[in-house]
Structure 1
């Protein structure tokens, strides 16, 4: 009897192990990628490869209508925290068919034995309840709605970020730094990119980093160096530049809610005595300014070329160019009028204005 019990238990362990090993989050065929440009292969929040994490992938739209794709519901939650995303626009990959389906109609298995993506607790979506129940019976976890899965993701976001940050500090940052110093061109400017997947795409497609034997970086190496450049070197470099706008990591733009420190190239500030508000671009700053002009003591904006803080009231602004900021069409500031006029010609701008000539109607048109 005892031998039979041990034998059955061993079979159970083998079956469970085989089941877990058989499941892969990677796409079995060509994945559906909704983002535009060469950066579409990577998560717009963390830079993780979409194809490799396709079965936990989600999509959404920014208020501007721009498509975003994420490796996980965790990264979707981060974007929801920063942008005013409409939950009705969210889609998720059905684990079985690998097709994008409406997230609100999906059935999520939360807390299965499958490893989570950017989170401790896995969350996998299915088109119908029966499939979710079958998966739950085989791999554990609870079947819940999208709203419940999102609520769980929001509650665990802080602890998930802490978990990922510990891994970054211990392993990813040192690995990325080593790769950068040994294989990359030293003139890479992370601040010139709006999202980590744009930086990652440039590193890969423009051959900015290559092994000494000429081979390209593999996905793990590419992710490590991208994360290091995006989260460490970018801010180290900015700290070395005198007279830049200083923004703390908890400052949010009062118009769109985005964390301003992530977009230092576009940072702007309005001061009211000793206090100030920070913005992720001139467009949002002006929207606030038109409603709160009284008692403004100083305005700082970031010169497009030097990245230094300049007096907003004395700057020159290009409206309607083909250069986009974090919130799409943007107003671009310059210290020198000649640079503003040259930029306006090179980038198909509409006009060059002084600060006092910027009006609400023109700002609103940018949306």
Structure 2
């Protein structure tokens, strides 16, 4: 079945899926954003529980399996993407159309991250992130533990090393040093 579908897909340059190695990250299919359902979801721009079947548009992992690290972005139309880590959230926000061509950064209404200690959702722009700690994230490498207060982040950084940053500090260069998705192309 996959071979039949692959033979029908053509790239803009006329190359077909058959002409490429499907296991070298040349082809990536990203699940669309989860649409807003006013009957079951909280208010449109409020944080939502992460659906068990949601896939991170950056790395393909299942964010619900890593609730301590989960993040989400909600678009103006109410649709949401869920992420397995703050690193992937910020990577997405720097290049939204790379991961989902239906949206741009201007379409983002809100982004949320989870407080590492309490599990509560926090607006990403109001959160404090610890960079360079000895705590590993869902991909078993460096990540950005999140805290709702500067004092909590400072205490974590004293105990686990690292420095405290804000959302404004999340540059593409910093994220590249943390991401395992550098070779992954969409």
State the partner residue of 1:358. Answer: 170
SS of residue paired to 1:271 = strand
What is the number of equivalent residue pairs in this alignment?
Answer: 127
Give the root-mean-square deviation of aligned CA atoms: 2.0
How is 1:216-235 mapped onto 2 (pairs within 5 angstroms)?
A: none
Structure 1 CA distance, aligned partners of 2:135 and 2:118?
Answer: 16
SS of residue paired to 2:107 = coil
The offset of 1:356, in angstroms, is 1.3
SS of residue paired to 1:264 = coil
SS of residue paired to 2:176 = helix
Say if 2:73 and 2:112, in contact at 8 Å, map to a contact too.
yes
Structure 2 CA distance, aligned partners of 1:286 and 1:299?
Answer: 9
Structure 1 CA distance, aligned partners of 2:82 and 2:144?
Answer: 16
Greater per-residue helix proportion: 1
SS of residue paired to 1:331 = coil
How is 1:80-159 mapped onto 2 (pairs within 5 angstroms)?
A: none
Find out whether 1:266 has 2:78 as its counterpart. Answer: no
How is 1:194-213 mapped onto 2 (pairs within 5 angstroms)?
A: none
Find out whether 1:347 has 2:160 as its counterpart. Answer: yes
Structure 1 CA distance, aligned partners of 2:165 and 2:136?
Answer: 18
How is 1:245-260 mapped onto 2 (pairs within 5 angstroms)?
A: 245-260=48-63
TM-score, normalised to structure 2's length? 0.64
TM-score, normalised to structure 1's length? 0.33
Structure showing greater relative contact order (alpha-carbon pairs closer than 8 Å, 6 or more residues apart): 2
**Consecutive unaligned residues in structure 2, runs of 5 or more:** 1-22, 25-45, 97-104, 180-186
Find out whether 1:280 has 2:92 as its counterpart. Answer: no
Say if 1:245 and 1:268, in contact at 8 Å, map to a contact too.
no
**Consecutive unaligned residues in structure 1, runs of 5 or more:** 1-84, 87-242
SS of residue paired to 2:129 = strand
